[in-house]
Structure formats: C-alpha cells, structure tokens
Chains A and B, each alone.
Chain A
C-alpha cells in the first residue's frame, strides 16, 4: 500500500509541470512524459516476459537435447562392451574348453579356428602362447609360430590381469585390428595363453547403428587420444588427438565445447570400464539448436513486432490524447476569455449607461438654463455686453451638445439600442459607410479599393449597427495607414451560411500584445484621441448579430480585419 502510494506520488511528480511554461512547449513536454511513462509500463513487462521465456525455453531445450544424447552414448557403449565381452568369453571358452595339448596341436587349432570363424565374425587368427611367452601354435594368415612375446607389455599385462584387450592397431591387409588375450590356469598348475585377433569392422557397424546424421560424428578413442575407429571430421584410425580426450567420467557425460575445427559442438562421451576406449559422439551445436534458433528468431520477431506495435500505438494514442487535451484546454481558455470579456463589457456597459442617465438630467437643466439666458438676452435689446453673453451662452449650449454626443456614444456602447433586422445588401451598406470617409481619403491621398462580390446575397441584419461596425473598422484603418496608404475592402461568400467582409490596410500594424487586447473597452493605442471603445463596440455588435471578427496583423506590415456575418441570424440577442 505504501509502495503503491509512493509510486503514485512519484508518477504525479513526474507528470507535474510548471504552470508558467508557454503552451506549445508545455504540451510537447507533457506528450513526451506520457509517452515515456506508457512505453515503460507496457515494455518492461514485455521485455521481462520475453527474457524469462527465453531462458526457460533454452533450459528446457537443452535438457531435451542432452538427455537423448546421453542415452545414445550409454546404449552404444553397452553394445561395444557386449561385443567385446562376447569375443572375450569366446576366447576364454576356447582357452578353458581345450587342453594345452589340444591347442598346441596346430591341426586341431586350425579346426577350432575354422569353426570359430564360422560362428563369430571378425576373428582373424588364433594362437597359443605358453607361460614363457613363446608362440606354441598359430592358426591364421601370419607365420608367427615360435615368436617370443615375453618382453611385450601386453604379455605382461595378461600374465598379471588374466585378460587383455589391446588398442587398435593396423595389421593384416592394413585393416585395424584388436588383440584379445586370455590366460588360462589349468588345474594341473599349467599356464597358457590363448590370443586371438579380431578386426574392427564390427566397431564401425556398431557406430553406424547409432543412426547419426551426416553432420554428426561418433568414434572410439583410447585414453591416449589415439583414434580407434575413423572419425568423419577429426582423423583416421590410429591418428593422434590428445586434446580430444575428454575429462574422465564413467557416467556418460555431455559437455559443450569448441572442437578442433573451431565449431561449437555438443560432445557426449563415455569411458569404457574394462578397456581403454572412450566412445565419443560429436554433434554440431548449430544443428542441434537449429530448432531453438528458429524459435529464437520467431520469438525475437514477435518481440520486435510487439514492441513496434506498442510504440506506434502509444505514440499515436498519446498524440491524440494530448491533442485532445490541448484542444479542450484551448476551448476552455477561449470560453473563459470570452466570458471574462463579455462580463467586462457588460459591467462597463451598465456603468456607462448609469453614468449617461445620471448626467442626462443635470445636462438638461444646464441646457434649459442656458437656453433661458439666451432667450432673456434676446428679449432685452439694450442688454449690456450682449454679444459677450450670447457667446458664452452659446458656448455652454455647445458644451451640452458635446456631452450629449458623449453620452450617446456611451449608451451605444452599452448596447441599449435594439437590433432592427432587415434584409439588406451588405455591399450597399459598405459603400454608403465608406462614403463618409471619402473626404478624408481624398485629403490624405489614401487609396480606398473595393472588391465587392457581385452576386453577394442580401442578408438579414441591422443596417445601423453594420454601419457602425464598418465605420469603426474603417476609422481604425485610416488611423493606421500613412498618407498615401492603401485600404482594400472586399466582400465574399465564406460558406453557405456565412458571408465575409475583409478590410486590409498597409498601415503600421499591431504587435501580438496589442492584438490580444484590441477588443477590450478603453484599450487604445493612440492615447489622447481615442476613447478605446470603437472596437469593443464593434465586437459587441458583431456578436449580437450572430457573427464574429477575425484579425490578423503584423507590426509594420498592416492589418486585416474580417467580419463574418450569418446570412440569417438565428436569434438576435439584443436587449
């Protein structure tokens, strides 16, 4: 619980961002953070699972390969031992079944040898040797009778152990052979030795019976590293390969190693108990693990595919999410601003209306008093300082007139005037309004261009209010352009429900900061002459008529105002 709480806190901290950051930067960072978090959350378990799976699989597969290999080696070793034991007992049987005299008789020996060859394949010769190591009789292809073996190691071994199985050697017809010698101790105390040679073709058969594939190898080796049978890859019979000798183990063992040729191999081997032989099976690891590597490739592809899909989905999702968020944030911000703005406008409007009304009555009194003064002066022909007084009264009345104009404007801003909707031609209203400014344009040499859409439909709107809107925007344009500047006015159909009226000038333009505030009441850039109400009133009117205003401006390059108006206002929100 504590851990989860802390994790939550950490994630919260991670996603937290300083408020003051500017908007696009903020969302970029937010997007990056969410992407990273989501990728971590999705990819970590995937990677972990892939890793565990990989290892589990590898272990299982290894077992499945090692176990059968071990069984094979063990089985084959048994076959070899069985074969050797069979031959050994045959020789032993001959040694014990026949007397020394019988065996010493070459004719008899020859007969025994013949029937031996018939019953057991592989026997090459058979001979009797006495306790002094002298070949007494011999049946076979060589002329060995009378030969003395007393100095040879095998003779000494057989005299000590009673049995001897030699390493392979090249013998008769250049064929590998093995000597089997058995000592017999007769009841009479006589000792003799029966020695037989067998060829090792049977070894090859046994190895062939293992049923190995072409890329695998099996062979017998003795403990000195001499090949007892031919190896497919490592050497011929009797070749030396000392480094091939594996560590001693009487259990069948499987090891992984690099072979002489530098291949990664699985080496299964078993030491023979009674002879010097080691049965070895060599399998290329690449072959064995082909299935594994296939699986591994598939696994990797699957993994990479998943990662790719996850990354794409996460990025896409995050993108959409953040974009949506940004849009809704923007919308909220806009709604908030608009609300704030309209709130500001309406409170200022109320204030203005209140002030206008309050001022109205005293103004009316001043007006009447001044009027009465004027009347009285007019009635008295001999009024002293008549002209001066009349001038002063006139000045008062004019001042009242000015106040009247100001309050009127204030009230206009307060939107007290009702909207009167009529079907009108915007082009006509526009040219009519612009005509007010023709004189100024002429004096200041400002080019006023019109590009009015000829087939512009008549729209339902309020003539007076539109005039005020156009006049306000044009006034601003006139204030912005230098003498000799240009103002272009165009009307166009924006879509089926809306028409647009654009006002382009090549005047001084506005900074972004100014642009943000232009619709706010009392915001003015030409301090002194403007009231700061013009655009604010314009904004209010266009809103009231169901339209909106778009402004683009670049400092030093000019400004473009576009007023969009509905062809048919849905409902007019006039008070």
Chain B
C-alpha cells in the first residue's frame, strides 16, 4: 500500500489508538488527535493527505473542525465518522465540504477503500501555499 499520511481524530483514545494501529498494519502513516484543537495544530504543522474526523466530540465539534480545516486547506479531503443514523450530520458535513461520511462501528476495509477513493480524487499535489 501507498504510504498515505492519515490524520485520525476522535475523542475516544482507545478507539483512535486501536484504529491507528490497524491502519499502520495496513501500511498507512497515521497520526492521531483527541480533539479539534489538537487536530488543527496537527494539520497546520504537517499537512496530512487525508483527515478522518469524528463528528461527535466534546469541545470543538467535528463539523466546526471540518470547517476550519476546509477554510485553510480546502484540498485536504476529510472523511467524517458519524454515529449510526446520524445521517443529518453526515449530510451537513458533505455540504461543508467533507469527502464522505462513514458510520461507526466501521468496517476497516470500507474505511481504507474510502481513503483510497479520496486519494484518487484528490487534486494533484499542487499545494496552495
């Protein structure tokens, strides 16, 4: 697999760490963040190829975080994680520029598939500096 650089954001430490490990096992480079602020800092310091962002987080909500990322780095695809049935948030996220949304609990293959899709459709590396 390509060494895609993925930023994983979720307030559940156990979830993030485990998922990160699984993605690493599949050859991805994964960084993690446990809230919106941390995520924004992480994006700013080293831009990831893809952000996987949980919608339901304490403090800054996932959707706000998405907006902020999209404002500064519109080219970075963001995949949202929503609770089951939270279609509304998912759709709202899509409107705000998210690449797609997936429901938790995830199927790992589905997530990797989506990341791959996002990478393919990602605008060519021409980074807007």
Contacts and interface: CB of A to CB of B under 8 A. Distances in A.
**Are A and B part of the same complex?**
yes
Interface of A: 353, 356-357, 360-361, 363-369, 371-372, 375-376, 379, 400, 403-404, 407-408, 411-412, 414, 416-418
B22 to A, nearest CB: 5
Contact of A356 (B18, B83, B87, B108): B83
B38 interface: no
A409 to B, nearest CB: 9
Contacts of A353: 85
Nearest to B56: A357
A408 B14 CA distance: 23
B105 interface: yes
Contact of A365 (B18, B21, B26, B88): B18
26 contacts: A357-B83, A357-B86, A360-B84, A360-B105, A365-B12, A365-B15, A365-B18, A366-B105, A367-B105, A367-B106, A368-B15, A368-B18, A368-B19, A368-B22, A371-B22, A371-B108, A372-B25, A375-B25, A375-B26, A403-B105, A404-B84, A408-B85, A411-B85, A414-B85, A417-B87, A418-B91
A356 B84 contact: yes
Interface string B78-109: 00000111111001000000000000111010
B22 A372 contact: yes
Q: Is the interface of A mostly helix, strand, loop or mixed?
A: helix
A311 B9 CA distance: 83
Contacts of A412: 85
B39 to A, nearest CB: 18
A416 B87 contact: yes
Given A360-B105, A379-B25, A407 B85 contact: yes
Contacts of B83: 356-357, 360-361
A364 B85 contact: no
Given A369-B18, A408-B85, A416-B85, 6 more contacts: A356-B85, A364-B104, A371-B18, A372-B21, A411-B85, A418-B88
A367 B18 CA distance: 10
B101 to A, nearest CB: 14
Contacts of A363: 104-105
A414 B25 CA distance: 38
A361 B18 contact: no
Contacts of B87: 416-418
A376 B83 CA distance: 27
A403 B56 CA distance: 19
Contacts of A371: 18, 22, 108
B18 A417 contact: no
B11 to A, nearest CB: 9
A191 B18 CA distance: 172
B18, B21, B25 interface centre (most CB from chain A within 10 Å): B18
Contacts of B22: 368, 371-372, 375
Choose among B15, B21, B25, B87 the residue with the greatest number of A CB atoms under 10 Å from its CB: B15
B86 to A, nearest CB: 7
A356 B84 CA distance: 8
Nearest to A358: B83
Contacts of B106: 364, 367-368
Contacts of B104: 360-361, 363-364, 367
Contacts of B88: 416, 418
Nearest to B21: A372
A123 to B, nearest CB: 137
Contacts of A365: 12, 14-15, 18
Contacts of A361: 12, 15, 83, 104
A360 B88 CA distance: 16
Nearest to B25: A375
Contacts of A407: 84-85
Nearest to A406: B84
B118 to A, nearest CB: 20
